[in-house]
Structure 1
């Protein structure tokens, strides 16, 4: 099981990757709040996806977030490090994503 600090760092690493991708791909029309809920640590983080970037990452849940990712700490780390395929993890139930279907399509472009 990963720690809260490792999960926090993984989200910041993801933010850095998305920022680099945003530069290469140009502007993506997506502006949504994001909640990341870590089930085995009973903790959550929230932030905002805008222009292809993940910004304002903070501790705590956002129950009104437009996009919600739920996973265990290990699955989150594996997902962000590219060791877990997003589609396979989603279809197998290892992670859960609640979002508008059109937002999901846009999110795939980010990764």
Structure 2
């Protein structure tokens, strides 16, 4: 089972990848939205923003929901987050099978589809 530090590192690596992306991927991530990633097996939620094509993680909330509901919400096990960032797990397949939950407004889903 991945630790909270490994999950935070995975989010940092994802942010670096997005920041270095070009073209459609960079354009799709060029939003300004609040973001949360709930790690189900650790009961920890990382919160931050998807802004200027990257992820800025602000804090981690242990044992409970963050004070504000994020506009883009992800939920998954820690091992799945690490596997997604490392490219060992396909996001669409994980989402389709229920291993990953992804919630956002319909227009945001359309815009982010190239990232998936």
TM-score normalised according to structure 1 size: 0.87
The 2-side partners of 1:9 and 1:56 are apart by 11
**Consecutive unaligned residues in structure 2, runs of 5 or more:** none
| Partner residue in 2 for 1:67 | 72
Is 1:99 matched up with 2:77? no
Contact 2:83-2:89 within 8 A present in 1 as well: yes
Contact 2:48-2:58 within 8 A present in 1 as well: yes
**Consecutive unaligned residues in structure 1, runs of 5 or more:** none
| Partner residue in 2 for 1:50 | 51
The 1-side partners of 2:72 and 2:111 are apart by 12
Cα RMSD (Å) of the superposition? 1.7
Task: Name the SS for the 1:83 alignment partner.
Answer: coil
TM-score normalised according to structure 2 size: 0.83
The 2-side partners of 1:13 and 1:62 are apart by 26
